């Protein structure tokens, strides 16, 4: 039996109960969901996702541990794995929340963490330049299935959507004096090299997160968290709960 990672064109692996829960909650199509202990998975649903117990009851099929291990390299501690159809929905034409742009990110865990942040903050989407596939199984694992709660796509630097571009860089102007508009693109450089020349040239503003002297930079996902929090803090609490459309 071949592993799912190599076999499922157009689908992504949802690794564990939480990834399945998020994906289903945000409308993913899930053709197959497996549990090594179906009753335990449904008990988890009762506890953590009572809104989804009926749906998950209809989706989950029980398989022996050996079957799950043959399909998934390291089965999740919850003993749940599923396949979801990848969602290539485009960004909304009119946006009421920022788009996060990751300029040639390298670390799959960072990209997943950023997608999770974007989903939680209600950002309009996450665009990545460069070669990393933002739907790579390692990224979906790190996002806890929250790819389906925002728009996630790869994009050429020359094809970024319209909107004022705020490029984050320690050499920029302090973000505390600069409100972020809802239609902003907020761009972040790669873990090793920072912002590319292409993004710098396209930027309308170069923006810095406050940092103690002698510290060179924050981690990429941390920088996104601080920036999205800055945007959210500038909005009324009810507006900050929006869906980014
Ligand atoms: C790990 S840092 C990149 C460090 C890289 N060695 C460099 O030369 O820029 C990844 C990205 O996070 C953002 N970032 C990190 N710290 C920041 C800060 N203090 N202000 C603004 N952006 C920051 C920037 O977009 C940066 O390109």
Burial environment of residue 52 by CB neighbours within 10 A (0 to 12, 13 to 18, 19 or more): middle
What pLDDT score does 168 carry? 98
Yes or no: domain 99-241 corresponds to CATH 3.40.1280.10: yes
What pLDDT score does 89 carry? 86
pLDDT averages per 10-residue partition of the chain, 245 residues? 57 93 96 96 96 96 92 89 92 94 98 98 97 92 96 96 97 95 97 96 97 96 98 80 55
pLDDT digits (tens, 9 = 90+) for 139-148: 999 999 999 9
Tracing tokens 């996902």 back to the chain, one arrives at 221
For the CA atoms of 180, 88, 138, 226, what is the dihedral angle to 10 degrees?
Answer: 10
What pLDDT score does 93 carry? 87
For the CA atoms of 180, 124, 162, 219, what is the dihedral angle to 10 degrees?
Answer: 60
226 lines ligand 1 (CB under 6 A): no
The protein residue with its alpha carbon nearest to ligand 1, atom 2, reads: 191
125-128 β-sheet, strand order: 151-154, 125-128, 99-102, 185-188, 165-174, 205-208
Rg (CA), the chain: 19
CATH class name, domain 4-85: alpha beta
What pLDDT score does 74 carry? 83
189 lines ligand 1 (CB under 6 A): yes
What pLDDT score does 73 carry? 77
191 lines ligand 1 (CB under 6 A): yes
Q: Are 131 and 223 in contact (CB under 8 A)?
A: no
What residue ranges do the domains of the chain occupy? 4-85, 99-241
Q: Are 241 and 121 in contact (CB under 8 A)?
A: no
**How many angstroms is it from 224 CA to the middle of ligand 1?**
10
The protein residue with its alpha carbon nearest to ligand 1, atom 7, reads: 194
209 lines ligand 1 (CB under 6 A): yes
What pLDDT score does 189 carry? 98
11-15 β-sheet, strand order: 11-15, 80-85, 32-35, 60-62
What pLDDT score does 72 carry? 86
pLDDT digits (tens, 9 = 90+) for 203-224: 999 999 999 999 999 999 999 9
All residues at 6 or more sequence positions from 26 whose CB lies less than 8 Å from its CB, including other chains: 119, 146, 148, 149
Spatial CA neighbour of 195 closest among 231, 216, 170: 170
What pLDDT score does 1 carry? 41
**CA distance readout (Å), 142 to 134, 137, 147:** 11, 9, 10
State how far Cα 53 lies from the chain centre: 24
For the CA atoms of 231, 236, 241, 242, what is the dihedral angle to 10 degrees?
Answer: -80
Helices (H), the chain: 4-7, 17-25, 38-48, 53-59, 65-71, 108-121, 137-143, 197-202, 220-233
* CA 63/CA 41 separation, integer angstroms: 12
230 lines ligand 1 (CB under 6 A): no
């Amino acid at each position: 039996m071949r592993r799912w990672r190599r076999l499922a064109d157009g689908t992504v692996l949802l690794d564990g109960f939480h990834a399945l829960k998020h994906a289903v909650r945000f409308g993913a199509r899930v053709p197959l969901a497996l549990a090594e202990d179906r009753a335990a998975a449904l008990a988890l649903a009762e506890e953590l996702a009572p809104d989804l117990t009926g749906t998950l009851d209809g989706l989950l099929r029980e398989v022996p541990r050996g079957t799950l291990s043959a399909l998934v390299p390291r089965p999740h501690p919850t003993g749940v794995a599923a396949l979801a159809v990848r969602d290539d929905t485009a960004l909304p034409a009119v946006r009421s929340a920022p788009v996060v742009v990751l300029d040639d990110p390298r670390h799959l865990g960072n990209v997943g963490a950023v997608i999770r942040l974007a989903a939680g903050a209600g950002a309009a989407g996450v665009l990545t330049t460069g070669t990393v596939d933002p739907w790579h199984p390692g990224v979906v694992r790190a996002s806890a299935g929250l790819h389906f709660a925002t728009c996630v796509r790869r994009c050429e630097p020359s094809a970024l959507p319209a909107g004022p571009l705020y490029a984050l860089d320690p050499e920029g102007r302090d973000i505390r004096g600069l409100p972020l508009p809802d239609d902003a693109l907020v761009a972040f450089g790669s873990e090793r090299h920072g912002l590319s020349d292409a993004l710098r040239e396209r930027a309308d503003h170069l923006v810095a997160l406050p940092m103690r002297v002698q510290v060179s930079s924050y981690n990429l996902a941390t920088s996104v968290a601080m920036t999205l929090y800055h945007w959210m803090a500038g909005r009324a609490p009810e507006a900050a709960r929006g869906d980014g459309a």
